Amino acid sequence: MLNYLISGISLGSVYAIIALGYTMVYGIAKMLNFAHGDVIMVGGYAAFCAGTYLGWPVPLAILFSMMICTILGIVIEKLAYKPLRSATSLAVLITAIGVSYFLQNIALLIWTSNPKAFPNMVNFIPSIVLNKGTGSEITISSTTIVTIIASILIMVALTLFTGKTKIGKAMRAVSEDKGAAQLMGINVNATISVTFAIGSGLAAIAGVLLCSAYPTLMPTTGSMPGIKAFTAAVLGGIGSIPGAMLGGILLGILEKFAQAYISTQLSDAVVFAALIVVLLVKPTGLLGKKVMEKV
């Protein structure tokens, strides 16, 4: 029971980091960046190549991965999404799906579909053993601890960033009203670029953490966690940073419990069913605010 809870929180923390990327992009660019999950995959491969092929030390490999993803995020936004700023959400979403497929298939060509065994990059602190000597020992692995700490740090940093810094305030202004923000002298395009950069940089961290916990890296590695993290963002209330955190952790716990008590095969179905229930009961999510439609 407790170990399911712990592994759920661990998985949920990864979802939370991915969900933060979704929620920021959705809040500011008002678009569902379907390719976000695949940026995670690219982050995983980048770290893998730097660490395994080039033999770089772990911190450098992670930094490299973040850099690649940040650039990738900015490039995707510039090439694919920016031309569609005034298009319907249908058009933007289809484009985002196109980008997602593009990344997956490029990865397929470069790294083939053979899974890569990802080395654990985050086991640099000792694991904790609970109930030592009682016979029902529970080990909290180093990866789990690092993942949870990382997600909390990221959430706090992002909250401070959007609340205190100038560019963070600009981001909030753009998310409230693009037109008004522009009139106030905020560079909307630059702000959206920064948002994509941050979201994608976080995706790289999520990629490393995800692959360290589940060490098979494939071109499709990012897509399911990506969709689930979006679910988490919706669950918590899209646009809300603590919401993404809460949604991610709840979803992770739900998934682990469903795997344990219902069926491994149906755990995804349970997670998605939760999404549907939440959207029906509270379409704005747990911590989201209601937005009135302008007529």
Partner 1 sequence: MPNKNTFLGKANKNSLKGLINYGIIVVFFAVITIVKGAGGLSNALEGQLIPICAYIIMALSLNLVVGISGELSLGHAGFMSVGAFTGVIVAGAMKYHGVNANAPRLIVAIIVGAIFAGAAGILIGIPVLRLRGDYLAIVTLAFGEIIKNVLNCLYVGVDAKGLHFSVTDEVHMDMAANGTTLVRGPMGAVGISKASTFLAGIILIVLVLFVIQNLVNSRTGRAIMAIRDNRIAAEASGINVTKYKMIAFVTSAVIAGAAGALYALNYSTIVPKKFDFNTSILVLVFVVLGGIGNMTGSIIAAALLTVLPELFRQFQDYRMLVYAIVLILVMIATNNERIRAFWKKLTGVFSGKKGGAANE
Residues near partner 1, by CB under 8 A: 31-32, 80, 83-84, 86-95, 97-102, 104-106, 108-109, 223, 227, 230-231, 234, 263, 265-266, 268-269, 272-273, 275-276, 279-280, 283, 293, 295
Q: Please answer whether residues 201 and 213 qualify as being in contact, where contact means their C-beta atoms are separated by less than 8 angstroms.
A: no
Q: Which amino acid is at 284?
A: T
Spatial CA neighbour of 95 closest among 31, 43, 40, 38: 31
Comparing CB distances to partner 1, the nearer of 91 and 153 is 91
Token pair of 112, please? 């083939």
Q: Which amino acid is at 234?
A: V
Comparing CB distances to partner 1, the nearer of 28 and 170 is 28
Residue 94 CB, nearest distance to partner 1 (Å)? 5
Comparing CB distances to partner 1, the nearer of 51 and 243 is 243
Comparing CB distances to partner 1, the nearer of 183 and 280 is 280
Residue 41 CB, nearest distance to partner 1 (Å)? 14
Residue 270 CB, nearest distance to partner 1 (Å)? 9
Residue 103 CB, nearest distance to partner 1 (Å)? 8
Residue 291 CB, nearest distance to partner 1 (Å)? 11
Task: Tell me how far apart the alpha carbons of residues 32 and 39 are, in angstroms, rounded to a whole number.
Answer: 14
Comparing CB distances to partner 1, the nearer of 143 and 267 is 267
> Pairing state of beta strands 116-117 and 216-217?
antiparallel
Token pair of 235, please? 């669950």
CA distances from 253 to 2, 116, 226 (A): 11, 27, 17
Q: Please answer whether residues 237 and 287 qualify as being in contact, where contact means their C-beta atoms are separated by less than 8 angstroms.
A: yes
